[in-house]
Each structure stands twice: as C-alpha cells, then as structure tokens.
Amino acid sequence: MANFPAHQPATRLAGALFLFLLLLAGFGPARAAVVTPNLPAGAEYRIAFVTSAGISASNTDIDVYDNFVNGLANSPGSLLAPLGATWKVIASTLAVDAYSHIGGAFTVPVYSVFGDLIAVDAADLWDGSLNSPIWIDENGVTKQGGINVNTGTLPDGSPSPNPLGGDPVFEAITGGVAGATGTSWIVGSFEGKLSFRPVYGISDTLRVAPVPVPKVGLLMVAVVGLTGLMARGKRPSSPQLSGL
C-alpha cells in the first residue's frame, strides 16, 4: 500500500488557514453606504440628493447640469457610485422644465441617500411639501441649517421667470433651500446666475436587490472546514502493510 507524505496534513491545514484569513479580511471597518429603502426585493424607487459642490447657473443647456450631477454622483468615493445609476438635475432652463426633465408623472417613491422617504411619487414631489428634505450629498454629508440651491423652478415643476441661464433682464435665477420641506425647497432664494451653488440630483429608477448571503455564513463554513481538517491532521497514521 502506498505511503502518504507525512507533511500532507500540514499542507491541507495551511491552505485552510489561508482561506480563513481571506474571508476574515472582509470583516474590516464598515464603510458608510447608501441605505436601501425598507421595500421588498424587486420594488422600484429613486434617490435624490444635493451636490457637495456648486455650479454657476449661467448656462442655458440642461445637459451641462446633468453632466455635473452625474460626475459627482459617480465619482470615486461617492456613496452613490456603486449604484451605477444615471442622474439628472432637478432644475429648469428656458427650454426645459424640471417636471418633464426628471420623468414627468413617475409613480415610484423617492428616497434620500440614507433611506428617508422624500416623496411617494411625482405628484407628491411637486405638491409643495416634501416628506423629508433633500439635504444629504453624494458623500453622505447632511447640509445642516440649509443651503441655497440653484433650481430655476416653481413648486409645480415648471420653469420660474428666472430659470437656469438667467433672466435676460435681471441676470438672476430662482433658487431653493436644501433642508426645507415646504415650497422653499425649490423656490426659496434668489441668486445671481454667476453664483456657484449646489443643485439637486435624482437617479433613474432603481430596484431593491435580493438580500445577499451574510459573510458570517461563509465564515462559519470556513471555520467548520478548518476544524475538520485539523481533526484529520491529528489522527494517527495507519500502520504500513508489509509485502506478503
């Protein structure tokens, strides 16, 4: 009968320890992340946020503001980047109204970065009152105390007399206040169009994913396997059979 090398149990044990350490590495300090709304798997929703940086409201092209919002939301380090979403600015220009720009009469709820309900649908978003303020930025920072935001929009989602790009006479735009829940969230300030102010962004439609298998379960599998290998390694070797 063939003899097995004496070091084989140790080799198995070393491999199991390596696997155990790889799994354990996943239990480092938890990084802040987007809080998924308390909805069943498969349910649809959207996320709204206020940008951490400002942009001049001097441009009349809505794409400029969409690109700005997307750039921040999907930048390295943004809590929103892992979502892989496409983002649009909640604002109006002379040619584009915010209501149509972000999807018209959409029927899915809107949440904050940390899972607070902002509006149950488009009608709720544009009825003059939010359930929760839009005051958390893409990095998870809350704009405590409120901050002026470029919107160019009236409470019903239509362009204000001073939309982004600036009124040709007054050279100013309508702004909102991040942190407000009444109509002032969208029309609560008046800014020069060259002022660099944050803007609101909203995602395309997202879907709640199934609950993943907890890492603890994988760790327990590794521990059980490791324990079994260690027990096997301690068994006495079978006596060698001499040839007949």
Distance CA 75, CA 81 (A): 6
The answer to whether residue 192 is domain-embedded is yes
Read off the pLDDT of residues 141-158 as tens digits, 9 standing for 90 and up.
999 878 999 999 999 999
More confident residue, 210 or 151: 151
Rounded-to-5 percentages of helix, strand, coil across the chain: 25, 20, 55
The answer to whether residue 17 is domain-embedded is no
Read off the pLDDT of residues 108-129 as tens digits, 9 standing for 90 and up.
999 999 999 999 999 999 999 9
- The pair of structure tokens assigned to 29 is 């300090």
Domain that holds residue 145: 44-207
Task: Kindly state the average pLDDT of the residues 212-238.
Answer: 53
Task: Kindly state the average pLDDT of the residues 217-223.
Answer: 50
The answer to whether residue 236 is domain-embedded is no
The answer to whether residue 8 is domain-embedded is no
The answer to whether residue 99 is domain-embedded is yes
Domain count, the chain: 1
- pTM, whole model, 2 decimals? 0.75
pLDDT band, very low/low/confident/very high, at 33 (cuts 50, 70, 90): confident
The answer to whether residue 227 is domain-embedded is no
The answer to whether residue 242 is domain-embedded is no
Task: Using DSSP, state whether 135 is helix, strand or coil.
Answer: coil
The answer to whether residue 102 is domain-embedded is yes
Tell me the CATH number at 108.
3.10.100.10
pLDDT number for residue 167: 66
Residue pointed to by tokens 């649009």: 88
- pLDDT tops 90 at residue 29: no
Query: Cα(first)–Cα(last) distance of the chain, in Å?
Result: 11
As a whole-number percent, the residues of the chain with pLDDT over 70 amount to 71
- pLDDT tops 70 at residue 70: yes
More confident residue, 240 or 215: 215
pLDDT number for residue 28: 38
Candidate from 9-23, 70-84, 102-116 with smallest mean pLDDT: 9-23
pLDDT number for residue 225: 54
pLDDT number for residue 239: 47
Burial 108-145 (b: 16+ CB within 10 A, else e): bbbbbbbebbbbeebebbbebebbbbbbbbbbbeebee
pLDDT band, very low/low/confident/very high, at 60 (cuts 50, 70, 90): very high
DSSP 29: P
pLDDT number for residue 93: 96
Candidate from 32-36, 40-44, 59-63, 157-161 with smallest mean pLDDT: 32-36
